[in-house]
Each structure stands twice: as C-alpha cells, then as structure tokens.
Structure 1
Amino acid sequence: MAYSIQQLADLAGISSRTLRYYDQIGLLVADRNPANGYREYTSDAVNRLQLIRYFQAFGFSLQAIQALLAQSPADQRQALADQRAQLAAKRDHLTTLLNTLDRTLAAQRGGPQMTDSEKFAAFKRDQITTNDREYGDESRQRYGATTFSASQQRYASLTESDYQAMQATEQRLFTQLKQVATTGNLDSPAAKAAYQAHRDWLCFTWNNCSLAAHRGLAQLYRDDDRFAAYYTDRVGLPNAAKTLVAIINHYTQ
C-alpha cells in the first residue's frame, strides 16, 4: 500500500512538515507519483519511519539515526537489541523501587517490618546495574570478566553496616580530596588520608587492590571524562579527578 504524505503523517503521529524535512535531508526519501508528482511512501518507507521513531525515542539525534540506518540490517537489529536491554534494566529497576516503596509504606502503617538489609537492597541493585552499564565493558577489558563479576557480587552482598561504612569512607575521601585539590600538596597529611580512604573504599568490593591495579584505575580515571564529572560533582572542584589521579600515582610508586 502506498501512503500519501498526509496519510503517513497521521499514521505515525507526526506532521507532514516533518516528513518533508526528512525527505529533504535524505533520512526518509519519498517516491513521486508519476501522474501528479506528489510524495508517496511504500511499506519499506513505513518500516524505516518506525525505526526512525524508535531511535528518536531512545534519544538519538537525526544525524546519528541517519548513520545507523546506513548500516547493515544486522547492525540495526543489534542497536535495537541494545536499547531494549537498557529499557528492560530501567523497567526492572523501577519495579524493584516500587516494590520496596510499597513494603516501606506498609511497614510505616504497621504492617510487616523490613530488615535493614532489605531497606537498602534496591539501591545496591541499582548501583550494580549502573556500574555495569557505564563501566562494565572497560572494566572487563582492563581487569577481566571474573574480577569485575566478583566485585559486583561483593557489592551486592555487603551488609547494612558495611554499606554505611563504604558510604562514609567515600565521603571521607571527598573531604580530603577537596583539601588537596585546593592546595596541590601531594605530601600533605590530607593527601595521604585521601589515598588511604580511596584504597579502603575500593577494598569493600575488590578482593585484592594491588598497587598495579590501583595505578590502572588511576589511568582509567584520567582517560574517561565520566570519572572527572563524577568527582567534580562530589567534590565541587573541576580538578578533583586529576588530583586523585596524581595522589594515586604518587603513593603507589
């Protein structure tokens, strides 16, 4: 079946002006009716528009979508599968949060009480999912899949007291790191305290934080802008991650 531009616009829930723009930039090229020159869209165009709408919903730019649609069908399927996995992870996370919230509300109304471990289980699972999504590939390549998996399992099995201690240790790191980032003195007590706090924080989830592994993590901090953004946000200074890298390298020699 061939659709006119208005018919396809109504079907897809977008404007005919948008379809004209897609035609102009080559994202969704229309056929031309030989009798009147009007735009027409075949079933292949409908399928392509569905993919465009999917990728838009996933946050891809039109330029990125155009590049994706130029790839092989197998690559396109993989891109959709990757997005599905992310959506499923978000769904599972929201389901877990809703279940935990329902149990919390029930407990506050006098219903069954949650254990301390159960109160924080959802947050730990969320952090594990986030770590895997954002850093899993790099960590597996750098440290091996077994090491990364073991670290995730150790985090998941933290007791409530361990979890609180880990959070407190990271806060101690931020406090000392802010002082060193301000002074730049790597030989100061604050620098030594920041280094030790970082090692202590890692040891909550690492079986063996060797000096070489610690230096390798510093290199990852240096090369990945996501770590810079993380420490900038927590410490409040733009050179926080750079300072932490310098501290680790200084004390692991």
Structure 2
Amino acid sequence: MNRKVKEVADLVGISVRTLHHYDEIGLLKPDAVSESGYRLYSPANLDMLQQILFFKELGFPLKQIHEIIADPTFNRTEALILQKNMLIEKRSRLDQMIVTINKTIQYEEGAIEMNEKERFKGLDFSHNPYEEEARKRWGNQRVDEANEKVQSFSQEEQQHMSNEWESIYAHLASLRDLSPSSTEAQKAIATWYQFLNE
C-alpha cells in the first residue's frame, strides 16, 4: 500500500519538509506520484527510509548516506547488521560515559575519590573497531586522512578533546528530560555535531 507524504511523516515521526528535502536531493524519491501531484511512498521506500534514518542516527551526513545506498553493491541486510553492531558499540560507550559522569559528579561533590585515568574512562579516541569496515566500504585514503588528523594532535590537544567531549556529554545528560525538539536540546546537539565533524 502506498502512503502519502503526510502519512509517512506521521508514521515515522519526521517532518513533511524533511521528506521533501530527501526527495529534492535524490536521497529518497517516492516510487509514484498521484494524479493530484501527491508523492506516494511504497513499502520499498519505507524500507529505504528506515535505512537512511539508522545511518543518520549514527552520525552519517546525508551526502555520505546517499553515496552508500546508491552504490550498486549496497546490501540492505549487510547494512542493518553493520548498523546494529555500531549501535551496540555506541550504547556500550555511552553506558561507560554515563558511569564516568556519575562518578565525576560524586567526585565534584566530595563523595568519592577519583584518579585522572578514571575521569576519562570511556573517552578513548585511539581505538576504532570499525576501521577495517570503513576501509572496505569507503577506501583507504579517507580513513588514512582521518587517522593522520587525529594522530597529528598533541597530547594537550587530545586532552582538550577529551575534556570537551566530557563537557558536551554532561550537558546532554542534563537535558535528558527535555523534548529533543526544544531549542536548548537542539543547540546542544548542534554543538556535539560540530565537535564530531571537527
């Protein structure tokens, strides 16, 4: 059954404007258009939208998502497995960071002692379990360039990154009861997004 754009927006929880934008940039074009000019999304379109939103949740920019799903070798099942593994890894890191933040709060309140190593547990930038996968999918050059940039950072710069990361996550944790669409939450996410891109 084909669905109109408003139905898809309500089903998924995104805006009609977002779907229009995805159509305009060629990321997700509806399989049909009604005689009245309405975009009509097929079940296959919904499958692809799910895939797009999983990638988006993992921080992939739209341009890169488009390149991935437009690749003739793209395999939906393989992508889902990759996304699941990335989300599990992300959840593990987030859980560890939440533990670190809670301990840091206790430390700041004088309730516990905490050494420097403990304060940065879960904030290790040196290990990337998906580097091999990234090399297979997007080539050595892109991965090498990213690694070279990180390795060029001095100890002080790496420390600064860890401190900033901790500050961003502490702020995000403090907003957990707000609506994701609130101005404050959106500003915090924008700060996080900019930090990740840098």
- Per the shorter chain, which TM-score range? 0.5 to 0.7
CA distance in 2, matches of 1:12, 1:135: 28
1:6 CA displacement: 1.3
CA distance in 1, matches of 2:120, 2:88: 17
Aligned counterpart, 2:3: 3
CA distance in 2, matches of 1:98, 1:86: 18
Task: Describe the SS at the equivalent of 2:49.
Answer: helix
For each residue in 1:79-130, what CA deviation from the matched residue of structure 2 results, as whole angstroms up to 9, or x when unmatched?
Answer: 444443333233223434555646x959x66xxx88x89x956845x36x64
Contact 1:96–1:122 under 8 Å retained in 2: no
Aligned counterpart, 2:39: 39
Contact 1:9–1:15 under 8 Å retained in 2: yes
Of 226, 230, 242, which aligns to 2:150?
Answer: 226
TM norm structure 1: 0.43
Task: Describe the SS at the equivalent of 1:46.
Answer: helix
Which structure 1 segments of 5+ residues have no match?
138-219, 237-253
1:60 CA displacement: 1.8
Contact 1:32–1:40 under 8 Å retained in 2: yes
Contact 2:68–2:74 under 8 Å retained in 1: no
The alpha-carbon distance between structure 1 residues 92 and 37, as it changes in their structure 2 partners (threshold 3 A), is closer
Letter in 1 for 2:153: A
1:3 CA displacement: 0.5
Q: Detail structure 1 runs of 4+ shifted over 6 Å in the superposition.
A: none
* 1:121-160 alignment runs, 5 A limit: 123=120, 126=122, 130-133=125-128
1:70 CA displacement: 1.3
For each residue in 1:161-193, what CA deviation from the matched residue of structure 2 results, as whole angstroms up to 9, or x when unmatched?
Answer: xxxxxxxxxxxxxxxxxxxxxxxxxxxxxxxxx
Aligned counterpart, 1:13: 13
Contact 1:55–1:65 under 8 Å retained in 2: yes
Which structure 2 segments of 5+ residues have no match?
133-143, 161-198
For each residue in 1:5-24, what CA deviation from the matched residue of structure 2 results, as whole angstroms up to 9, or x when unmatched?
Answer: 11112212222232223222
Contact 1:3–1:40 under 8 Å retained in 2: yes
The alpha-carbon distance between structure 1 residues 93 and 57, as it changes in their structure 2 partners (threshold 3 A), is closer
Matching of residue 66 in structure 1 with residue 66 in structure 2: yes
The alpha-carbon distance between structure 1 residues 94 and 9, as it changes in their structure 2 partners (threshold 3 A), is closer
Which has the higher mean CA deviation after the structures are superposed, 2-11 or 82-91? 82-91
Aligned counterpart, 1:27: 27
Percent of aligned pairs sharing the same letter? 28
TM norm structure 2: 0.53
Letter in 2 for 1:90: K
Give the alignment's Cα RMSD to 1 decimal: 4.1
Letter in 1 for 2:9: A
Task: Work out the number of aligned pairs and report it.
Answer: 144
Aligned counterpart, 2:194: none
